[in-house]
Every structure is written in C-alpha cells, then in structure tokens.
Structure 1
Amino acid sequence: MNLVFGSPGRYVQGTEVLAQAGTYLAHCGRKAVVVIDSYVLGLIRQRLDDTCAQSDVELHYITFDGEITADGIAGLRAAAAEVGFDMILAVGGGKCIDAGKALAHTSGRALITMPTVASNDAPTSKNYVVYDAHHQLSEVGHLLVSPRYVLVDTSLIAQAPRQFLLAGIADALTKKFEAEQCYKSGGVNMFGARPALSGLVLARECYRIIRQYAEPALAQAGTGEVTVAFDHLIEAVLLMSGLGFESGGLSIAHAMTRGLSKIPGAQQQVHGWQVAYGLLVQLVLEDRDAELMGDMLSFFQRIGLPRNLTELGVPNVDNSVLMQVAEPTLKAPHARNFSSVSGGALTCDELIGAMRALEGLTH
C-alpha cells in the first residue's frame, strides 16, 4: 500500500495575518466568495475589505449561520451560484469552515481558510462533516485537494472565549494515541493509505506541546494577548493536530463520536468533548498503566474536560445507553485502526467493559 502525506498548500500564523490576507488571496484569484457568520462579519469586515482592496481582490459575502446539513449546503451553493468566483474564503469556526469546504468540493475552486477560534483542526484538513436535522452525523465529505492557504491570525483567536480553545485542545490531545494505534494496527489514514511516519511524529509532538503549554495558554484565552505559550499551542492545535490525524490516522477516540452523537446529553456536546471522553475509553482498552491513567484524569480535571459519561452530560448511564454508543462506534471506519489487547477485532463487550471501567475509575 502506498504511503500518503497530505497538507495545506501554505500555513501562515501570526498577529497581523488578517491585515495581510489580501496578499495571499491575490495568489489564488481576483474574486472571492467569503463564507462567514454574522457575528464574525461584524468583527472583521472592515479590516478584510481594506486588505483586499489594496490587493485588488473583490469580495462577495455570504453569511452562514445555519447547520452543516444537506439543506444548509444546498442554500449556500445556490447563493454562491449567483457570483462568478475564483476562490472561497471560509472564515470563523468549524461550521463556516466546513461550509466553505462543502462549497469548494462542488465548485472545484481554491479554498482559503481563516479560523477565528481554535476549537478544532478543521482549517488545515480536507474533510468536512455533514449532520442530519437531529444533529447526528450523516456523512463525512472529502475535498480532492487540501486548502490552498490557512491564514491564522493569533490576535483574533486570542480574543475568543476559553471554551473554544479548550475544545480545540481536547480534539488535538487524542491525535498521538490514535496515530500510534493506526500505525501499530496496520490501519489506513484519512487518504485511505498507509500512515506516514511524518504524521505520527507530528501527532506525538502535538501532544508534548499541549501538555507543556495548555494551562498557561488557557489562562490567556479571551484576553487578546498573544504570548509565546499561546502561539505554540495554536500551532499544535491547528497545524500539528490536523496533519497528524490526516496523515497519521484516527482510531477509537474519534470512532466513538458515531455512538456518542446518538445519545441525549452527549450529542449536544462539542466534538472536542466527545473525543476527549473517547480517548479515555481508548486508553482503558489499551490497558494503560495506572500512572498514565492517573496523570491523564488529573489533567482532564484541572482544565475542565469530561472524564466519564455523566460529566459528558448523559443523565442515565445504563446498559441500553452503553449499547447505543458501542454499536455505531464499532461500525465507524476508524474503529478498524485498533489493535485489541486480546489480539482479535474489538468487540461490543470489550468496548462496553472499557466504558464501565472508566465510570468506576472516576466516580
């Protein structure tokens, strides 16, 4: 099987990136559709208009405040069809960036992403998630090519409330353990290919940087001030995490989102919280030693991540709930990227047992 490593065309991070955006957009064309939510539009429109005017880039704004559903995407495509555009600039959080990807997928135009929060690593990746009307995951779309540019203005991201950064940390935290499992099990990465060692190395370094800088960076969140710790953490959460999962592969922690999105309480939680819980279950399945489990549970408690289903918002944890989580999880493609301690394929009983064991460790 071929090894495949993928990445955005260029990743740019700094405190003045918004003011320089026009220069980068001009490399991709002269007319851009900007997919953005109403709040962020009010926050940055003047600055974005100014930088693009200097570079002779025309902007057409489409506000997207809805959900990433088939209907939401269809409405976005209809609005964009009225504009002849060379590129798409997706600005904001995960929803707007995924909406921009969906538009790029059908139009074939260049995609530039500009995150205003670091709540996940969507800005660097080629895939996007579509939900149904009940906020249950219905499909994962894949761009043929990765974003052309990822423009990360850390001054903007430093203004966002703490909970957004915490969600991004939670999402990135899992990547080392998932990439290691994918590599160990002979699984496939997000390109349907053999995992790249480069992706594994980035996922491991991502985890190291998170453990070193998460707590001081979280203390800065919402202040607008960019410290060295904050800058390093943003690079880990957006770039290292994104490249680590796409080229290194995913495993149980992300597979569990398929099951968790089916049960009340957990389905309302952000992606980062779901996968953070999924990581703890994966570590139990791996039969990790008490020292690592204790360290991870302590870290989760200090920064405010869920350590069990109750903390994830599930009101009643019983057999039927555990089965509702386990069955869809094992049907997820990433679940195959796992080497069970027993040596065979992971079973429902093993997964339910791990969830029960985690409840016992944390109550």
Structure 2
Amino acid sequence: MIIFGSPRRYLQGPGAIAQLGEEVAKLGRSALLLADDHVLGLIGESVGAGCRAAGVGFTAVRFGGEITRAEIDRLEAAARDVRPDVVIAAGGGKAIDAGKSLGGRLGVRLVTVPTIASNDSPTSHVVVLYDEKHKLVGVEKLPANPDLVLVDTAIIAKAPARLLSAGIGDAVVKQFEVEQCFRKGGTNMFGGRAPLAALALARACYATIRADSAAALAAVRRGEPDEALERVVEASVLMSGLAFESGGLSICHAMTRGLSAVKGPAEALHGLQVAYALLVQVELEGRASSFVDDMRRFFRTAGLPVSLAELGFAGGEAEIALIAELTAQAPHTKHFEKPLAPAEIAAAIEAVEERARTKETA
C-alpha cells in the first residue's frame, strides 16, 4: 500500500514569526513553548506576546540541550501543571525533536519553529533519541506529523553558515536514498510503499540544493534572506522532510548509527554525518570517478566534509570497522540494491578516505 505523510500546514518567509500567535490560536487556547536558553532569548518574548494578543495562554519551558529519555521525562513532569493544548517546539533539531516527543506524550497539537535550517526534523513525525554522550539509541514515531511548521527566514539568515551547510548536507542525500529504497522495493517511514510523489520531491530537492546552495550560503553570511535562501530552506526543511519520510532512507542515514558511536564524528552535526555517508554510498553504488569528483567539488563549495578527519575523526582501522559493523546492522541498510557485509562498507569508507588523501596531495 502506498502511504504519503506530511505536516498539515507549512508557512515560510521573512517575518513569519509574527503570524505564530494567530496560527496557534487556530489549534488551541493555551501553548507551551519549548526551547533552549539561546532560542528563548531570541524569540521567547515575541512568541509570548503574539500568543497573548491572539488570546492564547502562554508558558515557556527550557530545553536542557540533549534529547534523552530522561530529558523528555523531565519536560513531561514540567508540563503537567500547564496542561497546554499546543506544544511549540523551537530551535534546532534536538529541541524540536524534544518538543515533538513531549507533544506526543501529552497528546496535544504540535507546532515546530526552526530557528536554523540544519536538518528536516521540523516536518517529520520521527524523533531521534540519544544518550548523554550523544550516541544514537533509538527512534520514536509520533501518531502524526506536526500540525504547523513555521519558518522565519529572516531568523534563519542570521544563523551561522555552518548550520545551513549541515541542512544542505541532510537534504542533498535524499535523492540517492529514496532512489535506493525504490530500487529495493523498501518501505518508507510510515511502513508503506513510497509514492512517486516522494521520488519527485527528492529529485527536486537535489536539483534545488545543487543550483542554489552557494548563493544561499552567501545570503546567510550577509545575514539577509533572498530568493536563493528561500529555495534552499524550502528544500532543506520541507522537500527533504517529505522525501525521506514518504520515500524511505538507505545507507546515508544508516551510517549515523556507526558515526555517532566513535569520537569526533559523534559530535558532528547530523547533516555533516549523512553528507559524508553519501560519499560512502556512492562508492558502494559503483559510481564513476567523474561523478564522485563532481560531488566532492560541490561538497567543497557547500562546506561539507569529504573525509572522516573533517568530521573530527582521529581513529584507525578498528574504529572504521566499528562504524561499518553498526551501519550494517542499521535497519535502513536493507534499503540498498544488494546485501552488504561490514567488510564491504569498511572498504567503501577506505575508498572515500583514499580519494581524500589523493586529491589533497595532487
């Protein structure tokens, strides 16, 4: 059976945060804003004022910084007295996933407000959980996607460029993963067959990222949104999220199991992890050197890693073997055109590393 899922409503543009109170009022009469200290200082006052002006009761709760089961338990306890109709999850991927998990536990409406475009978590019903050392420990799924995703690109434009690079990395991989999932006949994040719409979105996402990333990064360095940034944010947050949930994932996201288990890459942003993993996936696919070289050139312009060292890795063969072993065990690895042994994955990682060494010394 074909299944396609998505948020109920998506708003994007400069100054969109001013509409948040009005939008939340359509969903309930009381709201809880979950964000870290930085984001509370950035938007807490304006979100509170907007909610109150729309007749919505407002409470803010601080996110502790790491999305662990213990942190979600703490947040749930803090929300018991508030009993909100709506949870507003604001900030980066961790805070948004924490808010998604909290909203799911409370059984209330959910709004996500990304203040950076570093990944596509805001649109999805998937929550990724870590331990206190940022090792990936599990994935939860909510009954539904967020009711509203609101993206203020004036805020996104003032975030560090490296965070947009991470979002570009998370988005650029989706075409390759969705194509592999289609090829294998795998299931998507809803447990169904992927519709053609997901493949079309994945390909549109890739085309947009390749065409507009350089200009979008320039806009962020200026701190001013423009049309290139609007397109890349839409690709990184909306297209990428719709594509992976309804299209399925493969090696790039399977590798996060391994990369998050070794020092250096474990501390890297998710989008940088999966971008590096794309280089491994295309090695496993047997792509031509000209294709790989073109991808590496794009990675350079987009601020993406082309070697494990650029993810902070300082280990050796044993750590690469661990990355390969954990990747081979990850559920998304079965969405590849052929079965993969850990040794094959390790060999592909070594091939990526050898290309990096060769190109750097050429």
TM-score bracket for the superposition, by shorter chain length: over 0.9
CA contact (8 A) 1:310 1:317 kept: no
Within the alignment, does 1:314 sit opposite 2:313 as a pair?
A: yes
1:291 partner amino acid: S
* Cα-to-partner distance string for 1:43-92 (whole Å, 9 max, x where unaligned): 12232122212210111100113210111111100000111211101111
Deviation at 1:148, TM superposition (A): 0.2
Equivalent residues in 2 for 1:14-163, closer than 5 Å = 14-163=13-162
Aligned to 2:266, the other structure's residue is in SS state coil
47-56 or 68-77, which deviates more: 47-56
Equivalent residues in 2 for 1:1-363, closer than 5 Å = 2-318=1-317, 320-340=318-338, 345-363=339-357
- Structure 1: how far apart are the matches of 2:79 and 2:222? 35
Deviation at 1:322, TM superposition (A): 1.7
CA contact (8 A) 2:168 2:302 kept: no
- Structure 1: how far apart are the matches of 2:66 and 2:109? 22
Could you say if the C-alpha distance between residues 222 and 81 of structure 1 is closer, same or farther in structure 2, counting changes exceeding 3 Å?
Answer: farther
* Cα-to-partner distance string for 1:122-155 (whole Å, 9 max, x where unaligned): 0000011111122111111110010000011111
CA contact (8 A) 2:126 2:142 kept: yes
Deviation at 1:222, TM superposition (A): 4.6
Structure 1, unaligned runs of 5 or more = none
- Structure 2: how far apart are the matches of 1:71 and 1:225? 38
Aligned to 2:265, the other structure's residue is in SS state coil
- Structure 2: how far apart are the matches of 1:255 and 1:4? 22
Structure 2, unaligned runs of 5 or more = 358-362
Deviation at 1:293, TM superposition (A): 0.5
CA contact (8 A) 1:255 1:332 kept: yes
Aligned length: 357
- Structure 2: how far apart are the matches of 1:255 and 1:190? 13
Between Structure 1 and Structure 2, the one with more helix by share is 2
CA contact (8 A) 2:25 2:56 kept: yes
* Cα-to-partner distance string for 1:246-288 (whole Å, 9 max, x where unaligned): 0011000100000111111111111111101110000000000
Aligned to 1:128, the other structure's residue is in SS state strand
Aligned to 2:119, the other structure's residue is in SS state coil
- Structure 1: how far apart are the matches of 2:13 and 2:308? 38
Regions of 4+ moved over 6 Å:
none
TM-score scaled to structure 2, two decimals? 0.97
Aligned to 2:299, the other structure's residue is in SS state helix
CA contact (8 A) 2:327 2:333 kept: yes
* Cα-to-partner distance string for 1:102-131 (whole Å, 9 max, x where unaligned): 101211101000110001000000011111
Aligned to 2:129, the other structure's residue is in SS state strand
2:349 partner amino acid: M
